[in-house]
Amino acid sequence: MQRALYDPVDPTLLGSLTPDLQYRVNGEVYRFGAEKTMQRFVTEPELWCGLLRDPVTGERFIPSTHSPRVYFVGGPYYFSSDSTHDRFLEDPGHYEVKRAM
């Protein structure tokens, strides 16, 4: 059996409520069933997170490795354009997405 470039996520593992197995992207909380899976996600979240919402415009988009981003309050924020990235940096607290972990 040929091994994929990235191991698939095991759908039988439920996401943990333990803070050590949670990570934020654009303020949304992602939960993982294993440390190995979470570390794979943290290394390149844009490959795994799927559809995101730009925190400035609310526009939904799929991030790429070229998407503008900034690390803020516990995780990365991705943006659909350079202009929304710059607007976010002017007042990040105004656009921060707050979710309980």
By C-alpha distance, which of 60, 66, 65, 71 is closest to 24?
71
How does the average pLDDT of the chain come out, rounded?
85
- Residue 1: pLDDT over 50: no
pLDDT at 50: 93
Q: In this predicted model, what pLDDT tens digit does every residue of 58-75 receive, in sequence order?
A: 999 999 999 999 998 889
Question: What are the structure tokens assigned to 65, written together?
Answer: 């490795």
Contacts of 1 (CB under 8 A, 6+ apart): none
Instruction: Round to whole Å and give the CA distance between 87 and 68.
Output: 12
- Residue 3: pLDDT over 70: no
Question: What are the structure tokens assigned to 93, written together?
Answer: 């607290």
